[in-house]
Amino acid sequence: MHEVTLIPGDGIGPSIAESTRAVIEASGAKIEWEVHQAGMAGIDQFKDPLPKETLDSIARNKVALKGPLTTPVGMGFRSVNVALRKEFDLYINLRPAKSMEGVKSVFRDVDLVVFRENTEEFYSGIEHYIDSKRSAAETIGVVTRAGSDRIVRAAFDYAREHGRRKVTIVHKANIMKYTSGLFLDVGREVAKEFLDIQCDDRIIDNMAMQLVTHPQQFDIIVTTNLFGDILSDLCSGLVGGLGLAPGANIGYDAAIFEAVHGSAPDIAGKDLANPSAMILAGAMMLDHLHESRAAKLVRDSISAVLKEGKKLTRDLSPERSVGTKEFTQNVLATMELMSRN
């Protein structure tokens, strides 16, 4: 039995978390869920966006599955997602982007994994107005040798473990000669220890252009926090959009699995959300828990439903679509059939 902290989140979170929970439970893995709140739901219940109960539960279980959490733009509380990553030192943000049969997208043969540094640089929260008139503002991006080393090393280790051929280091060292320059230097040093894996590098602007014109040339991408945030959304767009993109935040002592997308307030409460990204994040969690058979069943069922293409959510099939609940029922029925065969 695995004890897992489940944070449903807000916006579309509770609805896709319910779907994910049902699918994971049907996968055969034995999970005992501890449901806890964060973000808006944390404020509603405990007047705290990151209640102590939630933190204690993650610290105890070391594994969490999380729905999206809204972060107010500008003023208001700081991102709970960023706070969780810092609290548990979840330095790896791992986001696979793989073309799936049946999903309409510009490319059919993309198979990328983005490794985003998750704790440093412009997301460190070191920012302020320089005076009371707010005449200027500063955000300080700190990049450390140790922080760069561990994320690049994680990307190369993953490449070796998963039989991948190449790691591309993405940077802006031509302009940000110190922060991005340090990241690139460390990346090249680490690459010398992995001579069986090819290594190259790209400047971020060129990378964005090459990704949307010829993404097949890339395999594993490793980059700093802000570039990684943007590139991983871009990569999810290459394979059919945010509704299909899972992610993992991994540290030495804990891991939090979630969809790449946010709380989608525009469609919240309307039974329109695609739960696949969170379900696929659940499959990544099952792999992490060494429940690889259950993980495979979940992935195969989602693939089969997408390939069949008859009952898809609106983001994937705008003309003829089903709601979150019906989509989930279809995934569950497919799992049932697959596990019998």
Ligand X SMILES: NC(=O)c1ccc[n+]([C@@H]2O[C@H](COP(=O)([O-])OP(=O)(O)OC[C@H]3O[C@@H](n4cnc5c(N)ncnc54)[C@H](O)[C@@H]3O)[C@@H](O)[C@H]2O)c1
266 binds ligand X (CB under 6 A): yes
Q: Is 185 a catalytic residue?
A: no
Residue 93 sits at φ, ψ, to 5 deg, of -110, 110
DSSP line for 3-67: EEEEE--STTHHHHHHHHHHHHHHTT--EEEEE---HHHHHHHHS-SS-HHHHHHHHHHSEEEE-
Site string for ligand X, 278-317 (x = CB under 6 A): -------------------------------------x--
335 binds ligand X (CB under 6 A): no
At 338 the three-state DSSP class reads helix
| Tally of CB atoms within 10 A around 231 | 22
Q: Whose Cβ is closer to ligand X: residue 242's or residue 289's?
A: 242
Contact (Cβ atoms closer than 8 angstroms) between residue 259 and residue 278: yes
- How many whole angstroms separate alpha carbon 175 and alpha carbon 181? 9
261 binds ligand X (CB under 6 A): yes
Taking CB under 6 A as the criterion, the residue among 37, 54, 71, 330 binding ligand X is 71
Taking CB under 6 A as the criterion, the residue among 232, 274, 328, 334 binding ligand X is 274
Site string for ligand X, 81-110 (x = CB under 6 A): x-----------------------------
Q: Give the shortest CB-241-to-ligand X separation in angstroms.
A: 7
- How many whole angstroms separate alpha carbon 29 and alpha carbon 1? 8
At 181 the three-state DSSP class reads helix
Q: Give the shortest CB-267-to-ligand X separation in angstroms.
A: 4
Taking CB under 6 A as the criterion, the residue among 248, 250, 273, 297 binding ligand X is 273
Strands 92-98 and 198-203: unpaired
255 binds ligand X (CB under 6 A): no
Q: Is 91 a catalytic residue?
A: no
- How many whole angstroms separate alpha carbon 119 and alpha carbon 238? 26
- Annotated catalytic residue within 56, 157, 205, 253: 205
- Annotated catalytic residue within 201, 229, 233, 315: 229
Question: Which 123-162 positions form the footprint of ligand X (CB under 6 A)?
Answer: none
Q: Give me the helix-helix angle, 145-161 and 179-191, nearest 10°.
A: 40
Contact (Cβ atoms closer than 8 angstroms) between residue 13 and residue 69: yes
- How many whole angstroms separate alpha carbon 50 and alpha carbon 37? 8
Question: Which 216-245 positions form the footprint of ligand X (CB under 6 A)?
Answer: 242-243
The span of 18-26, 53-61, 153-161, 258-266 binding ligand X (CB under 6 A) equals 258-266
In sequence order, which residues have a C-beta less than 8 Å from that of residue 83 and are 6 or more positions away? 49, 50
Q: Is 172 a catalytic residue?
A: yes
- Annotated catalytic residue within 172, 201, 233, 315: 172
Q: Whose Cβ is closer to ligand X: residue 84's or residue 199's?
A: 84
At 187 the three-state DSSP class reads helix
68 binds ligand X (CB under 6 A): yes
Q: Is 229 a catalytic residue?
A: yes
74 binds ligand X (CB under 6 A): no
> Which stretches of the chain bind ligand X, using CB under 6 A?
12, 68-71, 81, 242-243, 258, 261-267, 273-274, 277, 315
Report, as residue numbers or ranges, the catalytic residues: 123, 172, 205, 229
